[in-house]
Each structure stands twice: as C-alpha cells, then as structure tokens.
Amino acid sequence: MHGRTALRLCILNHTTRAEGVERVLEFLETAEPRRPTRDYERHEQLPTAVPLFARLDPLEAKAFAALSTERGVPAGEAVVSQWDTSRDFYVIEQGIVDVVFDDELVATLRSGDYFGEIAALEWGARFARSRIATVVARRDARFRVLEPAALEQLLDEFQRLESEIRHTAHRRMRETL
C-alpha cells in the first residue's frame, strides 16, 4: 500500500475528487507502457543527453581537432553504405543524417552524434566489421572524420572515450542485428 499512497500524493491537487484519484490509480496499475515507433523523430532543436563529442574536456577536444579532418556531404548523398569495408569514424559537426538498415529507417542523427564506430573499431586480431547500415545526409552536412589510425591514437590516449564508443557500438549492434 505504501507505493499506492505515494502515488496518491503525486496526483492530488486542490480540485481532485476521490473517484478521479481512484480512476487514475487503476489506470496506472494496469496500463502497459507505449513503445515508441522506430520512425519517431525528436524535434531538431530539442536537446537530449549531451552527445559525447560535445562534452570533451580541453585535452580531448584539442587531440580530437588535431587528429580529425573535415568532410562535407550534400543532402541526399550516402556518407557510408551498408556492407562497405571503409573504416572511418564520423562525428556530425552540422546537419542531419538518416541511418538506414535493409531499406528501413532505424535512426536519425544530428550535430554532436557520431556513427561508424562498429566498422572503425577493431574487434581483436586486427579484425574489423563491414558497415551494417547506410547513412544518408538528409540536409547538407559537415563531419569531423577520424581515419582508423587517428581513432586508435585518440582512444589509446583517452580511455573514457574508448569505453563510451565501445558501449555505443555494442548497443547499436544489439538493436540492429
């Protein structure tokens, strides 16, 4: 009953009647959470968690800037294609890209997000994976690109980055494959 009492306190206000509270409590006890659809897209200006490359400390930011190169891609062009064996790692500096897996939109990424980590990371014995998705620029986009050796150097120097990027790679593989 403790949980129900706490919940009751959360939904009461000066105009609430007992029958309204009971209806809300009954609904909350039996309601199933809604699962978001895969094609849900947050508003472009609405922030979510601060992306990894937007929270670099000064030393990480300096190393990242020195090791990466800039690349622009016009709207509608593929940045990488599924099954491609390229290994570059991309951080979106400006723009919006769609991630497509087997002709299905699986994600939309924006400034500060990154992709290509699955193909870019070595998975042991100098083994790398091919691209598991196609990434297409929805609008003109600008990227910071790390070639494999540059990414390896950055991750060797900053273990926190390696940990977060590997975590993202594992999560994305579980969600996609």
- At 9 the pLDDT is 47
Residue 7, both tokens: 């919940």
Domain 52-176 has CATH 3.40.1160.10: no
Percent of the chain clearing pLDDT 70 (strictly above): 72
Q: Are 107 and 113 in contact (CB under 8 A)?
A: no
Look up residue 143 and give its DSSP letter.
E
- At 124 the pLDDT is 54
d(CA 161, CA 142): 21
- At 23 the pLDDT is 75
- At 137 the pLDDT is 97
Residue 147, both tokens: 């070639």
> Is the pLDDT reported for residue 141 higher than 50?
yes
DSSP string, 57-81: -HHHHHHHHHH-EEEEE-TT-EEE-
Q: State how far the alpha carbon of 73 is from the alpha carbons of 12, 47, 54, 146, in Å.
A: 53, 24, 21, 16
pTM, entire model: 0.68
- At 147 the pLDDT is 93
> Is the pLDDT reported for residue 30 higher than 90?
no
- What digits encode the pLDDT tens for the residues 32-85? 665 555 554 544 444 445 678 778 888 998 999 999 999 999 999 999 999 988
Q: Give the closest residue to 106 by CA, choosing from 33, 34, 171, 32.
A: 171
